Structure 1
Amino acid sequence: MDAYVDLRLLPDPEFPQPLLMNALFAKFHRGLVAHGEGRIGISFPEVDARRPSLGACLRLHGGAGELSAFLGSGWLAGMADHLAVGQVAPVPPGAGHCLVRRVQAKSSPERLRRRLMRRKGIGEAEAAEAIPDASARRLDLPYLTLRSASTGQQFRLFIEHLPAQAGASPGAFSAYGLSPTATLPWF
């Protein structure tokens, strides 16, 4: 991860910024699936966990050649009016490292109980004891709203930026540009 490029959303009176970020990320995901996942990671340098908001900038991280090839593959078609694409640039010296990962919320306790009853062949009372209502967890993390290509259902992709750390951790990135182990330069 020696290079990066910023994709910045431009203000638009017709479309709110979160809607544009959802569209940009959906295109990024499809482009990454076609290009080959594992070598490009993402971060949101303007993330604000207090609001929660991902901001207006999507930063791609990778090797300079890899990023240039990816940007040249045409996955950004249709976003030109809504986006300012920066130049591929080297990571500044002294940058920290940050883990940017997906966080999945546990489903509703009711759904989990039905699933447990089907899988284990147990009754409602036993399932309620195994999965209490208190097991539901609400996430206060920024998220993107995406549509599954396989099921057509909408879902929220919750994204967590962990605090910056001094050292880098290796690993691969998913088709969302996220990793449970690999860090990215943070600046």
Structure 2
Amino acid sequence: MNHYQDITLLPDTEIGLHFVWEKVYRQIHLGLVEMQDDNGNLPIGIALPAYSADKHQLGNKLRLLAETEDLLQRFNAQQWLNRLSDYAHITGIRNVPERIQNHACYYRIQPKSSNARLARRKAKRENTGIEQALAALENTPEQRSDAPYIWVKSQSSGERFRLFIGYVEVSEPVSEGFNAYGLSRQSSVPVF
């Protein structure tokens, strides 16, 4: 990753940071979907410079990273965030500093969630009643995540869900491509 562009979220007294994250990330996601290759991989990843798992916070900055300046120009963050200009400041495209702290992977965490949700899915999948599915899951512990998250609205179902984001540092840079959220367990971004 040699080039980056920062997007700073600007909440105010009436509009909170979580709301701004939801709106900005939705637009970024839609733009990234447009750049996917035939395998669903993207050459643009994200970083969250103020990410804090301990404080359960994403911070107020989203960084887009790519191997070339041309990729970020083609993505055109300004176009995707045009109607949110009061709530997001976008820098120009810059070179990644030569001295970086480390590399990291930002990835999606998908907890199994509540047993009620799992039972609904099980009942539908196995064509059984909800009571029978709940009984089958009675002794299954629920999985939760306390990782930072962004509310996202599914384009296909219209439902809102929490997109939990994890972070892990890696020793060497790896480039396998990113998903439509700019996240990956296999691809890293520079930390600076």
Partner of 1:10: 10
Whether 1:60 aligns to 2:74 is no
Query: Residues of 1 paired with 2:62 and 2:77: CA distance?
Result: 17
Question: How far apart are 1:93 and its partner, in Å?
Answer: 1.8
* Equivalent of 1:142 in 141, 148, 155: 148
Structure 1 pair 114/8, CA: closer, same or farther in 2 (3 Å)?
Answer: closer
What is the CA deviation profile of residues 66-125 of structure 1, one whole-angstrom value per residue up to 9, with x for unaligned ones? 112212671112111112111211111232110110000103224434544665678978
Normalised TM-score (structure 1): 0.87
TM-score, normalised by the number of residues in structure 2: 0.85
- 1:56 and 1:181, CA in 2 relative to 1: closer, same or farther beyond 3 A? same
Contact 1:3 1:64 in 2 (8 A): yes
Considering only aligned residues, what root-mean-square deviation do their CA atoms show, in Å?
2.3
- CA distance in 2 between counterparts of 1:168 and 1:66 reads 19
Match of 2:179 in 1: 174
Question: For 2:85 and 2:128, how far apart are their aligned partners in 1?
Answer: 55
Flag the 1:115–1:170 CA change in 2: closer, same or farther, 3 A: same
Bigger mean CA deviation after superposition, 171-180 or 10-19: 10-19
Q: 2:190 maps to what in 1?
A: 185
Greater alpha carbon shift after TM alignment, 6-15 vs 117-126: 117-126
CA 1:125–1:15: 2 relative to 1, 3 Å: closer
Aligned to 1:80: 85
Corresponding residue number in structure 2 for 1:35? 35
Aligned to 1:24: 24
Displacement of 1:133 in angstroms is 3.8
1:42-68 CA-to-partner distances (Å, cap 9, x unmatched) read 111111112211110000010211112
Aligned residue for 1:28, secondary structure, equals helix
Contact kept, 8 Å, 2:44 with 2:64, in 1: the verdict is yes
In structure 2, the residue matched to 1:151 is: 157
User: Where does the alignment leave 5 or more consecutive residues of structure 2 unmatched?
Assistant: none
- Post-superposition CA distance 1:18-63 (Å, at most 9, x none): 1111110001011111233511101111111122111100000102
Paired position in structure 1 for 2:75: 70
Q: 1:12 to 1:116 in 2, by over 3 A?
A: closer
Runs of 4+ residues over 6 Å off in structure 1: 121-127
The DSSP-based 3-state class of the residue aligned with 1:135 is coil
- Between the aligned residues of both structures, percent identity stands at 34
